[in-house]
Amino acid sequence: MQLLRDLWLLIKCYPIARGRVLVDRPEKYPGTVCHMIAYNETRTELVNRGLREEGEITGAVVMIAVGLAYLLNR
Identify whether the C-beta of residue 66 lies closer than 8 Å to the C-beta of residue 20. yes
Residue 65 burial (CB count, 10 A): 26
pLDDT-derived band of residue 62, with 50, 70 and 90 as boundaries? very high
- Full-prediction pTM beyond 0.75? yes
**Burial (CB count within 10 angstroms: exposed 0-12, middle 13-18, buried 19+), residue 38:** buried
Q: Over the stretch 5-46, which tens digit does the pLDDT of each residue have? A: 889 999 999 999 999 998 887 778 888 898 999 999 999 999
